[in-house]
Amino acid sequence: MTSGRFLYGSHSRRTTSALHLIPFYAHTMIILWTTLLLIGSNLFMTYAWYGHLRDFKDKPLWFVIILSWVVALFEYCLQVPANRIGFQQAGLSLQQLKVLQEILSMSVFAAFAVVYMKERLSINFVYASLCMVAAAWFMFTDIKHPA
């Protein structure tokens, strides 16, 4: 079992709930499932936002907008359950879910830009990503503020 100090942090509303009764491995699997769903949703959304720049650059804008909305539907089919599972079952706070989603979004975007769009990542993107890692540390660490 885990105390939840690192995972929930001081921002969580769930540190005193019944989550301490869930075995550590089961709780870890819930968070893993949430993370995998968020990665899948980010794959769809990244393609909806940027894939048309390569695949449909000669198509009319109205066509690309409709196609992007269709792709985004699949993103929502993964994002909504991920947020619900993360919030209700894993006990992640709303802020923790947002930071997790943004880090995964940056990671998926980096892979998409390099592998699919054949772009090089700038050093500024790397620095911005490091800032996101720092944001995750702050969101998932229990920091005690002086009284």
pLDDT in tens, 104-144: 999 999 999 999 999 999 999 999 989 988 888 888 887 77
Contacts of 28 (CB under 8 A, 6+ apart): none
Q: What is the pLDDT of residue 51?
A: 94
Going by the DSSP 8-state scheme, the letter that residue 147 receives in this structure is -
Q: What is the pLDDT of residue 16?
A: 46
Contacts of 109 (CB under 8 A, 6+ apart): 42, 46, 50
For 101, phi then psi, to 5°, come to -60, -40
Lookup result for tokens 């992640």: 92
Indicate whether 10 pLDDT > 80: no
CB burial class (10 A; 0-12, 13-18, 19+) of residue 106? middle
Q: What is the pTM of this model?
A: 0.77
**Sequence ranges of the domains in the chain:** 5-140
Calculate the average pLDDT of the chain: 85
Average pLDDT over residues 15-21: 54
